[in-house]
Amino acid sequence: MNGTDDQNRLAKTDRQQPPRWAKRLLHGFCAPELVEELEGDLDELFYQRIPLIGLRKARWRYVRDIFSLMKPFAIKRKPSRYPTPATTDMLRNYLKIALRNLAKNKVYSFINIAGLATGMVVAMLIGLWIYDELSYDKYHQNYDRIAQVMQHQTYNGDIGTQVSVPSPIGDELKKSYGSDFKYVMMASWMSRHILTVGEKTFSKTGLFIEPQAPDMLTLKMLRGTRAGLNDPASILLSESVAKSFFGEADPLGQVMKLDNNESVKVTGVYEDLPANSSFNEMTFVAPWALHLIKEPWITKTDNPWRCNCFQAFVQLADHVDIDKVSARIKNIKVDNIREEEQRYKPAVFLNPMSQWHLYSDFKNGIRTGGRIEFVWLFGLIGGFVLLLACINFMNLSTARSEKRAKEVGIRKAVGSVRTQLIGQFFSESLLVVAFGFLLSLALVQLVLPLFNEVAAKQISVPWNQPAFWLLGLGFSVFTGLIAGSYPALYLSSFQPVKVLKGTFRVGRFATIPRQVLVVLQFTVSITLIIGTIIVFRQIQFAKNRPIGYTRDGLVTVEMLSSGFHKQFDVVRDELKKSGTVTEMARSGSPTTDVWSTNGGFEWKGKDPNLSVDFPNVEVSHDYGKTIGWQFVAGRDFSPAFSTDSSAFIINQTAAKYIGFKNPVGEIIRWDGRPYKIIGVIKDMVVRSPYAPIQPSIFHLSTEQSGLVTLKINPAMSASQAVSNIEQVFKKYNTGVPFEYKFVDQEYAAKFAAEERVGKLAGIFAGLAILISCLGLFGLASFVAGQRIKEIGVRKVLGASVFNLWSLLSQNFVVLVAISFGIASPIAYYLLTNWLEKYQYRTDMAWWVFAVAGLSALVITLLTVSYQAIKAALLDPVKSLRTE
């Protein structure tokens, strides 16, 4: 035995080992489940052969045996009993489990998907709205080099900002600062004009501007070229206007009448400008030279720098800094005006196109913001509403943690690591978000027309843009990660030993995160409720403001042709005799706006350093009767007094500003000419209903005023009256389209921006409350289910339905009360700042906060009560029998 043992030890030395390359060959081709057994047998034979045939032959036979094993039985692999799953297998498994959980818990699944879809709809709509706002004017390729020439002027220490400039400023910029600009061009105001081709006559909005405008604005020419305005008798038409006149025929070279006077030739057709362009209403473009021909007074005035009557646009030269150029041209006007006009300290500057839309507000010469405030506001609202939906998902997922604790424990016990569990819960979250995203796309397409109507937009979903889908998918993944982060990290942290032993408890503080999230939800909702109430309260406050005249039944017609004025008295007499109108008059400005302001007024006792810029409206004799002036002193204009051609009627604010105790009979000089004050009327709200009244002056028209205002006979229906007016106007004003506006509608339009904000805020507040209520409903259902046995015991011991209802509801009421305490100061601070931009504004009444808090409380109780009462009415025998 000892000899044999020695031989075995000797055989197992390094010098008596099988060939290593042969072993590697065996491991290379042999099935893993057979390799260990075959290798052992071969090794045993090898060591038995060494003492019999020698080491060399034993090694040779070892190699031969290995080659003999290269047969199908040894090579064929059997499937592993415990295969290593691929990543796709794991994902497929995650998806399958997630779908089963969604199907098993239909109520919670519906709440999560509906809540997330609602939040995503709000976020998408607001995102599209913000994109439209931020891309304003970017249709124009020279967007970052275009600017408008504007000016600040000082009146009694207050700096006002205006876009209107005098006509010589364009030539002066070209002459003195030409190297700083690629284009400098003067332009008229965007206004309506009559276009006529044959029997077709339409009133269209257009602009007179210098010939380089199509290049500066990079108009997309469909026919003709951008050089089409070089001829003073030319015109460029938008695509829609060209089709309305010529259909599919080629309009190039066609001649049309402009305002029934000038003949112009169509030299080009450009693509309609988008709604988010500052020039979107420009349906035709005519040369500035033609405007000078139509309005010869522009070049014949003895003081062309005085009238701020036009617009000026520039395109900066390449590599020129706009701020430096703006600083250089600051004194271009003050250096050219008369000495007495220099007290207004006009300071010219360039306003870049990039800030026209979002940063259009100025106060005391400083840019203070504009619509960018709404961009930030709605962006925050969209983010918060989406956050509320994510909070619902987090709350319901963590609330159901005890029911999924055993699942987590078993998975960990059989080998799942925490990262796999986190992946599982994130996959469930992403699946819910995927369903929500698909549902939200359908809802966005469905509600977009209504949203466009409320928001006054023309937004569409960019289905064919890859960027939209990339953003949408990225947005969905981000939402899924946010919504699933807390549940995934929380549930995956459970310890399997405690769970499987039954000793796992969520702990007394486990509900605190859910309570904090509920408080956050209702803080946002209550803040939005308060904001909505305050916005509409401010609107109503301004609507209830006395306006100083009667707007009911007033109709305004703009005179686009000078020929009508010769027939004015005939038209007026015919309409009055027919009983269609009670009065009719002309004016230089509409009842709801001021088109002209003037300085140069002097009166007895006036401070020589006092600067004035009064709204100054020219009217016909019967204007006061037509709109219903309310006199506090003196009388109206009358044809019986020829001296009224040199008379003023002023409003109460003007009387206070001038300082006359008895203004009637006093003299005001206008550019040296004396005018007697013959009447004082009550203040009228003309411009913004939120701003203070301006001192205003009215005088008899010495020229042909551009507007006609009619007072419809209240005994006749508005539709019949308008029809009669149209017939008479067309009878005496042939070839001119009849277009009219109701004054009450024009006045109501002054509230459009605030009403739009209020409606959108109200919609978002309602959706935020809906999402919060969905979450509360789910939580109330879960809490009632958790306490079902407790409710049964209490009911057996004599608790009433009311006792049980209050037991289940009180926690939610406390959370809403805390939310109200947080939301109130936040809303007060934000809305106080918002109201401060209005000089005529409502106050922050205490009852607004009380109503918002009470509304949130009632909504909470209604949401929770269904589940609470349902649980309280359950038969205790059935709930206790489950033991």
User: Of 121-130, 512-521, 606-615, where does the model show the most confidence?
Assistant: 121-130
Give which of 597, 695, 700, 606 is closest to 648, Cα–Cα. 700
The enclosing H or E element of 207 equals: strand 200-209
| Amino acid identity at 59 | R
3-state secondary structure of 256: strand
Average pLDDT over residues 160-170: 92
> Minimum mean pLDDT among 9-18, 189-198, 632-641, 765-774: which range?
9-18
High-pLDDT (> 70) share of the chain, %: 88
Give me the percent of the chain exceeding a pLDDT of 90: 32
Is the pLDDT at 110 greater than 90? The verdict is: no
Q: What is the pLDDT of residue 769?
A: 80
| Rounded Cα distance, 220 and 226, in Å | 9
Rounded to an integer, the average pLDDT of 95-117 is 76
**In whole angstroms, what is the distance from residue 331 CA to residue 642 CA?**
44
- Whether 480 has a pLDDT exceeding 80, the answer reads no
pLDDT tens, 584-617?
Answer: 999 988 988 888 888 888 898 888 878 788 888 9
* pLDDT tier, 7 (very low <50, low <70, confident <90, very high otherwise): very low
Q: What is the pLDDT of residue 270?
A: 96
Confidence of residue 487 (pLDDT cuts 50, 70, 90): low
**Which residue is associated with the tokens 């090579």?**
75
Per-residue pLDDT for 4 more than 60? no
Structure tokens at 659: 């300082």
Give the mean model confidence (pLDDT) for residues 176-202.
92
**pLDDT higher than threshold 90 for residue 139:** yes
Using DSSP, state whether 581 is helix, strand or coil: strand
Residue 83 pLDDT more than 60? no
Three-state secondary-structure class, residue 502: coil
User: Quick one: pLDDT at residue 145?
Assistant: 94
Q: How far apart are CA 370 and CA 357, in angstroms?
A: 8
- 636 vs 484, residue with greater confidence: 636
- 398: confidence class by pLDDT, cuts 50, 70, 90: low
Q: Average pLDDT, stretch 848-854?
A: 90
* The amino acid at 192: R
Query: What CA–CA distance (Å, rounded) separates 266 from 256?
Result: 8
Residue 880: Cβ-neighbour burial (10 angstroms; 0-12, 13-18, 19+): middle
The Cα-based distances of 256 to 245, 251, 385, 828 in angstroms read: 10, 10, 54, 59
Residue 842: is its pLDDT beyond 70?
yes
Residues 287/208, Cβ–Cβ less than 8 Å: yes
Give the model's pLDDT for residue 496: 66
Contact 771/392 with Cβ under 8 angstroms? yes
With a cut of 70, say whether residue 85 has pLDDT above it: no
Q: Are 558 and 192 in contact (CB under 8 A)?
A: yes
Model confidence pLDDT, tens digit, residues 814-823: 888 898 999 9
pLDDT band at 501 (very low <50, low <70, confident <90, very high): low
User: Does residue 33 carry a pLDDT above 70?
Assistant: yes
User: Which of these, 869, 775, 710, lies nearest to 114 by C-alpha position?
Assistant: 775
Whose tokens are 């539709």? That residue is 719
Residue 152 has pLDDT above 80, yes or no: yes
Is residue 44 within 8 A of residue 4, CB to CB? The reply is no
Instruction: State the Cα–Cα distance between residues 272 and 843, nearest whole angstrom.
Output: 45
Average pLDDT in the chain: 84
pLDDT of residue 273: 95
Task: Give whichever of 123-127, 352-356, 795-799 has the largest mean pLDDT.
Answer: 352-356
**pLDDT tens per residue across span 278-331:** 999 999 999 999 999 988 888 888 888 988 889 999 999 998 999 999 999 999
Question: Which one is predicted more confidently, 851 or 866?
Answer: 851
For tokens 């006092």, name the residue. Answer: 610
For residue 728, what are the contacts with CB-CB under 8 A and spacing of at least 6? 571, 574, 575, 578, 580
Closest CA to 155 of 687, 683, 654, 609: 609
Structure confidence at residue 32 (pLDDT): 77
Instruction: Give me the pLDDT at residue 784, please.
Output: 67
Structure tokens at 695: 């001192």
Q: What integer is the mean pLDDT of 800-808?
A: 76
For helices 466-491 and 418-455, angle between their N-to-C axes, nearest 10 degrees? 140
Q: What confidence score (pLDDT) does residue 399 get?
A: 60
C-alpha span between 805 and 865 (Å, rounded):
7
Q: Quickly list H helices, 621-713.
A: 623-627, 652-658
- pLDDT for 883 equals 46
**Rounded to whole angstroms, how far apart are CA atoms 256 and 513?**
73
pTM (2 d.p.) = 0.76
What confidence tens digit (pLDDT) does each residue in 521-553 have?
788 888 888 888 888 888 888 888 888 888 889
Please, which residues bridge with residue 645 across strands? Answer: none
Helices (H) and strands (E) in the chain, counts: 29, 26
Contact 542, 751 (CB under 8 A): yes
Point out the least confidently predicted range of 280-284, 495-499, 872-876.
495-499
Tell me the pLDDT band of 459, cut-offs 50, 70 and 90: confident
